[in-house]
Amino acid sequence: MDDNNKLGLEELRESFSKIYNGPDRLQREYEILKEAERLNIPIDTYRRLYELRSEEPIEPYPKPQNWRQIPKDWAKWYIHLPRKKKLTLLRKGSFWLIRQTIVITAVVALGRYFWEAPKREKQAHYQAWQIVNSAKGQRTNAGRINALQDLNNDGVSLRGLDANEAYLEGINLANAYLRYANFSKANLSKANLSKANLNYSNLSYSNLTYSNFTYADLSKANLGQANLVGINLSKANLQYAYLRGADLSDADLSDVENLTPEQVKQAKNWEKAKYSEEFRKQLGLPPEPTK
């Protein structure tokens, strides 16, 4: 330390010795202010230095050359610390350990959560299938709608689903894989089955009023005697679909793919459905009246 620094510290310590250190805080603050002004030091800086006046110097952290000496050197360093420093380090060390324990516990819990995720998903799927299967043959919902929606949202195949006479009004099974599914006599009114794969499915005698089947694959599906009033079949694939006896009142068949006039004319009220202008010509229907 050079002479100027030494002189400055000595002058500072001498200044601190002049400060009143009794119970009268007003007097102490007044004297701190006066000394700060006299020494031309900012009041906050002077107050901070004043608070450090009684702290004992701490030895530098040990830097063992040999790793075997680390525990011994650090223990010796800690023993020779002033009591106040020991307590401070002990308190800080305890807080650090607590924080590390919390972090480690959180990391372990998070890892376990992700590790067990497939198991939980499998269990959830098993329970959902139990609900679906236990409701088989029942006309009430009995949680079946939510169970089927959850399975579909998780990408589970619903191939061959038996939902004969099931009440599934308003169900959302968009993009579902329902090949060979049985929805005979089921209530699927206002359901969303857009882009669903219903190839070879049985929808005979079902209620499909005002449901959404846009872009659905209904090739070789059985829609015989189904109620298709107000159904939206735009862009759906109806190749070889069976429509005998189905009610097409107000059904939207515009831009339907792979549909023939012969298929349509097997249905009831086929003249009341909506078709593209080209298909209306094929059906022998006059153009739609302009509004």
Q: Is residue 34 part of a domain?
A: yes
The domain total for the chain is 3
Q: Is residue 86 part of a domain?
A: no
Cα–Cα distances (Å) from 263 to 5, 117, 142, 163, 208, in that order, read 104, 48, 36, 26, 18
Confidence of residue 126 (pLDDT cuts 50, 70, 90): confident
Task: Please return the burial class of 271, using the count of CB atoms within 10 Å of its CB with bins 0-12, 13-18 and 19+.
Answer: middle
What pLDDT was estimated at residue 74? 57
- Whether the pLDDT of residue 3 is over 80: the answer is no
| Same domain for 169 and 40 | no
For 57-66, 126-135, 247-256, which range has the lowest pLDDT when averaged over its residues?
57-66
| Same domain for 162 and 25 | no
What pLDDT was estimated at residue 204? 98
Share the mean pLDDT of the chain: 84
Q: Is residue 183 part of a domain?
A: yes
| Same domain for 228 and 282 | yes
Q: Is residue 187 part of a domain?
A: yes
What pLDDT was estimated at residue 10? 84
What pLDDT was estimated at residue 68? 64
| Same domain for 210 and 119 | no
What pLDDT was estimated at residue 195? 97
Q: Is residue 56 part of a domain?
A: no
| Residues spanned by the domain of 128 | 96-134
CATH number of 206's domain? 2.160.20.80
* Bridge partners, residue 232, by sequence: 212, 252
- Whether the pLDDT of residue 64 is over 90: the answer is no
| Same domain for 123 and 247 | no
Q: Is residue 152 part of a domain?
A: yes
What pLDDT was estimated at residue 134? 81
Confidence of residue 7 (pLDDT cuts 50, 70, 90): very low
| Same domain for 254 and 166 | yes
For range 165-185, the mean pLDDT: 96
Q: Is residue 258 part of a domain?
A: yes
| Same domain for 196 and 122 | no
| Same domain for 274 and 190 | yes
For 64-78, 163-177, 199-213, which range has the lowest pLDDT when averaged over its residues?
64-78
Distance of CA 217 to the CA centre of its chain: 30
For 100-114, 120-134, 208-222, 248-262, which range has the lowest pLDDT when averaged over its residues?
100-114
| Same domain for 264 and 193 | yes
| DSSP 3-state of 147 | helix
| Same domain for 120 and 166 | no
| Same domain for 121 and 198 | no
Q: Is residue 269 part of a domain?
A: yes
- Whether the pLDDT of residue 248 is over 90: the answer is yes
Length of the chain: 291
| Same domain for 38 and 120 | no
For range 169-185, the mean pLDDT: 96
- Whether the pLDDT of residue 287 is over 60: the answer is yes
271 DSSP assignment: G
To the nearest 10°, the Cα dihedral for 101, 106, 111, 117?
Answer: 150
Q: 169 and 188 in contact (C-beta within 8 Å)?
A: yes
